[in-house]
Amino acid sequence: SQQGEEDPQALSIQEGENATMNCSYKTSINNLQWYRQNSGRGLVHLILIRSNEREKHSGRLRVTLDTSKKSSSLLITASRAADTASYFCATDGQGAQKLVFGQGTRLTINP
C-alpha cells in the first residue's frame, strides 16, 4: 500500500524555472527521503531529512519537512533539461526499515 501522495502528479515547466513538488504521508516517520527515477528504472537517492529536521539543502535542491502537517516539499531551483524525471518521496518509521513510497511526480523541463 502507498503511504504518501505526491502533488502534482505531473509538472511541466520551462528550463531555468523552479520546480516544487509536494509529498504527504499518513503515519509518524523517522526519516523522509526523495528519489529521482529516469525511464522507470533505478532510483537515484537525492536527499534524506530526519523527522527532527525542518529544512535541508543539497546543491540546487531544498527539502522541507512539516511533521505537524505530515508533509514535505522538494524544490529544484534553476531547472535543467536533465532534471526531467519522476520524483518520489519515501518514508520509514514505526520500527520498520522498509521504505513506503508515494506514486511520484513526473517532472518535464522544456528547453
Interface with another protein (CB under 8 A): 1-2, 30-31, 33, 35, 40-45, 48, 50, 88, 90, 92, 96-104
CB 98 to another protein: min, Å: 4
Contact 9, 107 (CB under 8 A): no
Distance CA 104, CA 4 (A): 9
Sequence-ordered list of residues with C-beta below 8 angstroms from that of 43, at least 6 positions apart, any chain: 35, 36, 37, 88
User: Which residue lies nearer to another protein by CB, 7 or 15?
Assistant: 7
User: Which residue lies nearer to another protein by CB, 39 or 68?
Assistant: 39
Nearest Cα to Cα of residue 3 among 21, 20, 40, 28 = 28
User: Which residue lies nearer to another protein by CB, 30 or 77?
Assistant: 30
CB 21 to another protein: min, Å: 13
Contact 7, 73 (CB under 8 A): no
CB 27 to another protein: min, Å: 14
User: Which residue lies nearer to another protein by CB, 15 or 48?
Assistant: 48
